[in-house]
Amino acid sequence: MSTDRRHWLKGAGAALAGLWLAACDKLTQDPRAVRVLRRAETLTYRAQRAATDRRALAREFTVADISKDFRANGSTRPDSEAYQAMLADNFADYRLVIDGLVEQPRRFSLGEIRAMPARSQITRHDCVEGWSSIGKWKGARLGPLLDLAGLKPAARYVVFHCADTLEQTLDGTGQYYESIDLIDAYHPQTILAYEMNDATLPVRHGAPLRLRVERQLGYKQAKYVMRIEVVDRLDGVDESGRTRLGRGRGGYWPDRGYEWYAGI
């Protein structure tokens, strides 16, 4: 089953279930409707099974397993003036923006994010380049943060816009970004981490906030997250026919040929 179909089922499932309950008495008198409902039931069941796999937790490790030297990869210090200025001020002026397909666009200070429902986890980070490191992460769960903004019904993907430009391109598609679907966004281990190994998240690992989406590979773990945009599609174009998000494949590395869904 396609991911789109799954999103649709997850997003629309609850709403439809409600409608069906309300309309149920009338519908079940119509044999055609009964057939449709039965089919939807099997579909939902299959979607549920697929979604249950996706909801399983990534393996967690113990303090003794934590890597002595967690590697840093990709950008290790965004060079933009805006980032440098925030860093110089210890991120006092940093605000995480949540916008796009939300009822109420929001801006959160680090203090507000630290006051949100948090989770700690010791997990293994696997980079496609062939190395792994185990680290302890603490951060705000993404789901409750999104709920504060309130997803609009059309919401399908959550896009993370980062502070760093990894490649200089004329059209600006060299800026790092990543995206996940709503199943991963609401996964209990999906957090915006502000601590690593019991200390403030270091710059080389993504200060002040980095995504941990533990069921996926390293390049999905967006560092230097500045803005979270909720969208209905990843390949949308603007009036001039230009892709709105990078090159339209949902992430800096997916735009360059890597899988968008990098499950492990």
Ligand X SMILES: Nc1nc2c(c(=O)[nH]1)N[C@H]1C(S)=C(S)[C@@H](COP(=O)(O)O)O[C@H]1N2
219 binds Mo ion (CB under 5 A): yes
Q: Is 122 in the site for Mo ion (CB under 5 A)?
A: no
Sole window of 43-51, 66-74, 100-108, 149-157 interacting with ligand X (rule: CB under 6 A): 66-74
Residue 218 CB, nearest distance to Mo ion (Å)?
3
Regarding 71 and contact with ligand X (CB under 6 A), the answer is yes
For residue 201, the Cα-to-chain-centroid distance in whole angstroms is 19
Q: Is residue 180 at the binding interface for ligand X, with CB under 6 A as the rule?
A: no
Among Mo ion, ligand X, none, partner that 214 touches (CB below 5 to 8 angstroms by kind) = none
Radius of gyration of the CA atoms of the chain, in A:
20
* Contacts with ligand X, 82-121, as mask; x by CB under 6 A: ----------------------------------------
**How many CA atoms, within 13 angstroms, populate the side-chain half-sphere of residue 2?**
3
Cβ nearer to ligand X, comparing 186 with 253: 253
Q: Which residues bind Mo ion (CB under 5 A)?
A: 127, 218-219
Q: Which residues bind ligand X (CB under 6 A)?
A: 71-75, 127, 162, 164, 166, 176, 205-206, 218-219, 221-224
